[in-house]
């Protein structure tokens, strides 16, 4: 078995082991809560760090307001 195959083997075993342990931990009440809030934290951190990617989602909300403001400005006084 060369080094590359060993790395692949270790990669797969590590993932399987980690998922198995997390599943077992998730079966306890305490572990379930801990995993739940860890995932929640991950999501929040991704949302914060990828804020720039998510701004287009907000543009749809901002545009009508800007248009309304423009319309209001253009309205004959």
Partner 1 sequence: MATHKRKTQADEFLAEYNIKQDAQDAQADQDAQDAQDKTDADKEVADFVGKPTPETQAHKDAVKEGIVPDDKAAEQEQAKVVQIQDRARKQAANNATFAQRRAQNIKTATDPIIRKGAQVVDYVGAAKTVGGVGLLLVILFLLLFIVVRVNAAGNTRLQQLWSMLNGRATLTGAVTPTGIESNGGGASGDFSAAPNNPFNGTSSTNTFPSATLAQDASTFAGSYRTYTGGI
Write out the residues near partner 1 by the rule CB under 8 A.
Answer: 3-4, 7-8, 26, 29-30, 32-37, 39-40, 42-43, 46-47, 50, 53-54
Query: Which residue number, 16 or 46, has a Cβ lying nearer to partner 1?
Result: 46
Read off the tokens for 28.
């306890």
C-beta neighbour count of 25 within 10 angstroms? 13
Q: Find the shortest distance in angstroms from Cβ 20 to partner 1.
A: 15
Q: Find the shortest distance in angstroms from Cβ 21 to partner 1.
A: 14
C-beta neighbour count of 36 within 10 angstroms? 11
2 by DSSP, 3-state: which?
Answer: coil
């Amino acid at each position: 078995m060369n080094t590359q195959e060993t790395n692949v083997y270790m990669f797969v075993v590590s993932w399987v082991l980690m998922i198995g342990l997390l599943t077992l931990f998730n079966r306890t009440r305490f572990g379930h809560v801990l995993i739940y809030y860890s995932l929640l934290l991950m999501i929040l951190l991704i949302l914060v760090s990828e804020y720039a990617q998510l701004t287009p989602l907000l543009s749809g909300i901002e545009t009508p307001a800007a248009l309304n403001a423009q319309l209001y400005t253009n309205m004959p006084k």
